[in-house]
Amino acid sequence: MASTSTRVSMKLLIDTKGKKVLFAEASKEVVDFLFNLLQLPLGAVVKLLTEKSMVGCIGNLYKSVEDLGDTFLQPDLSREVLLNPSFPSSSTAISGLLLTSSSTPAKGRVPLPVSSGSGFVKGVVTYMVMDDLVIQPMSTISSITLLNKFNVKEVGALQEKVVQLGMNEGLRLLKASLQSKMALTSVFLRNMEP
């Protein structure tokens, strides 16, 4: 299993005037991690983010399963099926970002298995991850086209920033992806100076 010190970097292109991430230049490991989020069962997401930080009432549903007495559950059913669901994974070592230790997950954490396979995407390509988590292969033409799409008039207002994606950022990115169309901005530019 990956350790909590597992981190990968991403290069962000930031519009300092608009105070937002235009896109990130990301490696295979980052994209595999993001795609792996799609495999998380809803119960695992609630467990990872804690029911108190969930938007809406899905956290209440999770808490109801926790609090419901055993006399009300089917005798051959363990509540762990709902509270700590297991799932297949095709991800690379970056999935270990959501673990809290190198060997065993802490109570309340759902382990993401580390696959010895090749993950979801090819490693010889650099990927472009948009603020809203749209992902595509990186190209110079695409980058220039995006600057036009985002109506960037002053190239001098653009800033490159290298950020680290570790367990804390992974959890914040998971939460932001459920709450915002500007996931990268919410996670990596929260404290950006005006």
Q: Is 94 exposed, middle or buried (0-12, 13-18, 19+ CB in 10 A)?
A: buried
Say which DSSP state 15 is in.
E
pLDDT in tens, 103-148: 334 444 444 444 745 788 888 899 999 999 999 999 999 889 999 9
Q: What is the pLDDT of residue 114?
A: 42
User: Range of 106's domain?
Assistant: 8-40+87-188
Question: Hey, which bits of the chain come out as E strands?
Answer: 8-15, 20-26, 127-130, 135-137, 158-165
Say which DSSP state 169 is in.
H
* 80: in domain: no
Handedness of CA 136, 142, 147, 149 (dihedral sign): negative
* 22: in domain: yes
Query: What's the number of domains the chain is made of?
Result: 1
- Which residues of the chain carry a pLDDT beneath 50? 1-3, 91-93, 99-114, 116, 194
The model's pTM is 0.78
* 156: in domain: yes
CA 94 to chain centre: 11
CA 175 to chain centre: 8
Evaluate whether 52 touches 59 at the Cβ level (below 8 Å): yes
* 25: in domain: yes
CA dihedral 162, 124, 98, 183 (to 10 degrees): 50
Q: What is the pLDDT of residue 89?
A: 54
Q: What is the pLDDT of residue 76?
A: 85
* 3: in domain: no
For 148-169, letters b (16+ CB in 10 Å) and e give eebebeeeeeeeeeebebebeb
CA distance 159 to 21: 9
* 57: in domain: no
* 163: in domain: yes
Smallest CA-to-CA distance from 22 within 113, 119, 124, 147 is with 147
